[in-house]
Amino acid sequence: MVRLNHLYNRYPRIMNSSVGFVTFFGGDFIAQKIETSDSINNPKYDFRRSIYLGILGIGLNGFVLLSWYKVLDRFIGAQRGTIEILKKCFLDQLFYAPVSIFFFLSTAYYAHDLKNMEDSKVYDIKTISDPDSEFWETFLKGWIFDCFFWPFVNWIGFKHIKLHFRPSYVCIAQLMWQSFLSWYSHRKIIDKR
């Protein structure tokens, strides 16, 4: 544990990026197993989709989330009092959650459209501005689900977890969240098409 603490203190971005990749990749892997388990035509596992989401995990977990937590500590303070934690949870839901969900869904939609283009040789990408796209409906519902799940996870993180460990701690809950969000977003895409 001492060695792990040393690595997180010395290389917080590398450590949190690594955990982010594994979590996002793993969450999508689990979601795809759920998706394909009840599928009539039993589509194959899409390794590329998991890679795209794993790369997103590197960026969001290793860079954006760690920086976001530093900003919160700088402007609200690193104290662990109730008022400070409530402010951080509120700001996290208001600012970070929508950005995270947007990037996740954008990546999920892109990976799904890319796979469809390769499978059908039809180059018809549904963009997030397309009126037929359910992107914004999925985004809003995802954010609402987020509001029920993440404030509790963040409360524990802001109260008990050191700054450098916080993004990796979040990954424990994020594995469940990413599995759900990946399943939910791809279910919506598949049902629509």
Owning domain of residue 187? 2-192
pLDDT of residue 114: 65
d(CA 148, CA 142): 10
Residue 55 burial by CB count (10 A; 0-12/13-18/19+): exposed, middle or buried?
middle
Sequence length of the chain is: 193
pLDDT of res. 179:
75
Question: What is the pLDDT at residue 117?
Answer: 56
* Low-confidence residues in the chain, pLDDT < 50: 121-123, 193
Own/partner pairs for 33-41, CB < 8 Å, 24+ apart?
34/179, 34/183, 35/183, 35/186, 35/187, 35/190
Instruction: Give the span between the Cα atoms of 80 and 82, in whole angstroms.
Output: 7
Cα atoms found within 13 Å of the Cα of residue 166, Cβ hemisphere only = 23
Pair of tokens at residue 34 = 């759920």
pLDDT of residue 123: 46
State which H helix or E strand residue 82 sits in: helix 82-91
Domain count, the chain: 1
Whole-angstrom distance, CA of residue 85 vs CA of residue 91 = 10
Q: Tell me, what's the pLDDT at 178?
A: 72
* H or E stretch covering 52: helix 47-59
Q: What is the DSSP track for 58-106?
A: HHIIIIIIHHHHHHHHHHH-S---HHHHHHHHHHIIIIIHHHHHHHHHH
What is the predicted pLDDT for the residue at 113? 67
Give kind and range of the element (H or E) at residue 121: none
Q: Return the pLDDT at 98.
A: 95
- pLDDT in the model for residue 122: 46
